[in-house]
Amino acid sequence: MQLALFIIFGALAVLGALNLLFQRHPINSALSLVVVMISLAVLYWSLGAEFLAAAQVIVYSGAIMVFFVFVIMLLNAGEEERTHGSRAAYIVGIPGAGAIFSLLAFVFLSESHALGSSSIGGYLNHVTSNISEISTVLFTKLLLPFEVTSVLILVAILGAVVLARKEQ
């Protein structure tokens, strides 16, 4: 089952990345990046890194993508043309979303012992050690790159604001 999850969400991440590159509209590219981030979160979860998967969804798919969309809107990249959607998106997207939902529901229901319903103590100890290991590495060895990355994101947003400013 884990191999099937890896193949499906790995392929979904690659297809989302390719769609990100070939989209003509920046908002559609940002939405494709959300698909990639969610797929990576599922891959992290399947590897047993539950905290990293949750952080991937909250931080990258949530906060960083809000910044991306904000910057895209701030840049005012041009007038969007009104379309009625892609026919291929309806044909592939709706059954694909149903299949992914069904697969995840099957995995959650059939692997409930691995998710902590039968041995809560062992599961909580595993999660606690996972969180403590990540936080120890992040705030000791990787503190400088962590802070430099946040400053770079701030500088990139400020640069986009300066570039988008209209001359008077």
Low-confidence ranges of the chain (pLDDT < 70): 74-86, 111-129, 166-168
CATH number at residue 66: 1.20.120.1200
Total domains, the chain: 1
Instruction: Please tell me what DSSP assigns to residue 118.
Output: S
pLDDT at 128: 57
Angstrom distance (rounded) from CA 72 to CA 43: 28
Give the tens place of pLDDT for each residue, 82-101: 666 667 777 877 888 888 88
**Six token digits for residue 41:** 């979160």
Rg (CA), the chain: 20
Range of the domain at 70: 2-164
pTM beyond cutoff 0.75: no
Task: Give the per-residue pLDDT at 29.
Answer: 82
